[in-house]
C-alpha cells in the first residue's frame, strides 16, 4: 500500500507554514500569519508575545502554525499502521470569514486530511502565547493536518523477532537516504542551493596521466553547507548530513563519514588506477548484504577544450572483516561528452552511480566520488544524495 503525501510539493511537505503563506487564496483571507515559536516571517508589526492583540485591526483571520511537530498513527491492513507528522494550526476569525473558507484553502495546498474543532479565547491564548483579550474576534479554532509522507510501521506483535532499529528509520522502516554538501573542496554555500561551488582544476598533466580526481569530505565543509531549512525532529543529528539521520535505513547509523583517514585516503600514483589523496568516505558499514546503493553526484563542470569526455565514478575499495583492502576499482557511470561550443560554459551534472552489496566486503567498502577527463576541465563538487534500496 502506497502512503499519500500531504502537501503538494513532496520535497518539503512538512513546511506547512511555508506553503500556506504562499497561497494567494489564503492571503486574501488572512490578516496575519506566523508560527507559535515566535519566529516572524512577514513584514508586519507583530509582537512575538501576543499580549492584548486587537483583532479589530486584522482583516480576515489570525492564523498561527504550531512549530512543534506531533505524530498521528493510522491503522492499515494486517494491524500495521502509517505514522504521519501532525501539524496544529490555530485560527481566529473576524469580519464574516468562516473556518470553512480557511480549511478549504489549507486543503487546496495538498493537506487534504484537515480537521478542526472550536475552542474558546482562553485556549487560543494559551496555545499562541497571548492573554485572551482579543478585541473583535468572532470565533477561535484548532485545525489539525497531516503533513508529509507517512512512515509504515509494523505492528508490535509482528516485530518480536526483529532487530531493534538503530537509525532514525526510512520509508517503511527499511531503505533510506542521507544528503550532504560537505565536500572538502566546497567550504561555502548552502546544500541544495545549486550554487556555482568552488572550482577545482583538472589539469592537462592529470589527463595525460589518466588520473582520477577524487572528492573528499570534511566536517568543516559539512558544518558550512548542511543547514536544515525545514522542520526537524527530536532525533536530528547534524553530524550525519543535511537530513540529520532522520531518514536513514533501518539499523543504519550513517551513510557518510566526514573524517576517515586511512590508507584508502592516500594517493595512488603508480599502476593502472591512479588518484589523489582525499579524506572521508561514503560509509556503508551499518548497511547489509543485498542492499543497493544509489549515489547521485551533483557537480558543475567547465570544459577547457572542445570535444572533451568526462568519466564519473566511485573509487571503490572492498575490505575484509579486519579492514584489510582486498580490491580497489572504479565503479563508473555513463561518460559525458562536451563538443564544439562548450568551452568556458558551466554545465550542471547529476549522474547516479550504483553499487550492489554482494558480500560483507562490499558492505565494509570505502568509496569516494571522482571524475576523470581526457582534457583539462574545471569542476566544482556541490552535493551528493546517498540512498539505500532494499
Q: Cα–Cα distance between 359 and 351 in angstroms, integer?
A: 25
pLDDT in tens, 152-173: 655 444 333 333 344 444 444 4
CA-atom Rg of the chain in angstroms? 25
Q: Cα–Cα distance between 293 and 173 in angstroms, integer?
A: 16
Q: Where in the chain is the domain with CATH 3.30.2000?
A: 5-153
What residue spans of the chain are helical by DSSP H?
16-20, 24-29, 99-108, 121-128, 204-208, 219-225, 360-363
Strand 5-6 relative to strand 292-303, pairing: unpaired
Q: Which of 215, 166, 246 is nearest to 384 (CA)?
A: 215
Element (H, E) at 102: helix 99-108
Contact 382, 194 (CB under 8 A): yes
pLDDT in tens, 284-335: 999 999 999 999 999 999 999 999 999 999 999 999 988 899 999 999 999 9
Q: Cα–Cα distance between 261 and 51 in angstroms, integer?
A: 56
CA 207 to chain centre: 35
pLDDT in tens, 100-141: 988 988 888 888 888 999 998 888 877 776 666 677 788 889
Fold of 5-153: STM4215-like (3.30.2000)
Which residues, in sequence order, are bridge partners of residue 180? 384
Amino acid at each position: 500500500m502506497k502512503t499519500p503525501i500531504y502537501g503538494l510539493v513532496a520535497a518539503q511537505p512538512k513546511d506547512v507554514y511555508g506553503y500556506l503563506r504562499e497561497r494567494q487564496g489564503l492571503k486574501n483571507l488572512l490578516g496575519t500569519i506566523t508560527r507559535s515559536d515566535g519566529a516572524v516571517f512577514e513584514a508586519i508589526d507583530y509582537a512575538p508575545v501576543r499580549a492584548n492583540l486587537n483583532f479589530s485591526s486584522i482583516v480576515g483571520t489570525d492564523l498561527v502554525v504550531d512549530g512543534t511537530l506531533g505524530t498521528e498513527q493510522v491503522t492499515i491492513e494486517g494491524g500495521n499502521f502509517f505514522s504521519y507528522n501532525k501539524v496544529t494550526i490555530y485560527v481566529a476569525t473576524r469580519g464574516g470569514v468562516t473556518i470553512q473558507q480557511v480549511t478549504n484553502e489549507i486543503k487546496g495546498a495538498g493537506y487534504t486530511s484537515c480537521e478542526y474543532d472550536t475552542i474558546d479565547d482562553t485556549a487560543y491564548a494559551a496555545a499562541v502565547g497571548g492573554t485572551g483579550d482579543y478585541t473583535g474576534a468572532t470565533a477561535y479554532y484548532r485545525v489539525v493536518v497531516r503533513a508529509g509522507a507517512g512512515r509504515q510501521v509494523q505492528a508490535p506483535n509482528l516485530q518480536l523477532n526483529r532487530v531493534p532499529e538503530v537509525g532514525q528509520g526510512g520509508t517503511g522502516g527499511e531503505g533510506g537516504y542521507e544528503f550532504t554538501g560537505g565536500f572538502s573542496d566546497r567550504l561555502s554555500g548552502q546544500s541544495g542551493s545549486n550554487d556555482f561551488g568552488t572550482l577545482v582544476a583538472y589539469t592537462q598533466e592529470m589527463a595525460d596521466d589518466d588520473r582520477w580526481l577524487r572528492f573528499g569530505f570534511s566536517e568543516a565543509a559539512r558544518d558550512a553547507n548542511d543547514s536544515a531549512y525545514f522542520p526537524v525532529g527530536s532525533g536530528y543529528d547534524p553530524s550525519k548530513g543535511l537530513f540529520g539521520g532522520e531518514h536513514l535505513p533501518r539499523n543504519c547509523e550513517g551513510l557518510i563519514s566526514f573524517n576517515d583517514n586511512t590508507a584508502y585516503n592516500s594517493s595512488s600514483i603508480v599502476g593502472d588506477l591512479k588518484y589523489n589523496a582525499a579524506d572521508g568516505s561514503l560509509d556503508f558499514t551499518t548497511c547489509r548484504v543485498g542492499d543497493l546503493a544509489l549515489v547521485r553526484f551533483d557537480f558543475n563542470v567547465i570544459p577547457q577544450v572542445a570535444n572533451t569526455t568526462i568519466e564519473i565514478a566511485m573509487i571503490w575499495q572492498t575490505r575484509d572483516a579486519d579492514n584489510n583492502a582486498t580490491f580497489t576499482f572504479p565503479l563508473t557511470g555513463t561518460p559525458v561528452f562536451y563538443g564544439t561550443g562548450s568551452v568556458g560554459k558551466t554545465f550542471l551534472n547529476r549522474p547516479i552511480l550504483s553499487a550492489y552489496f554482494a558480500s560483507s566486503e562490499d558492505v565494509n567498502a570505502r568509496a569516494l566520488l571522482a571524475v576523470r577527463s581526457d582534457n583539462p576541465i574545471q569542476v566544482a563538487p556541490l552535493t551528493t544524495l546517498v540512498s539505500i534500496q532494499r
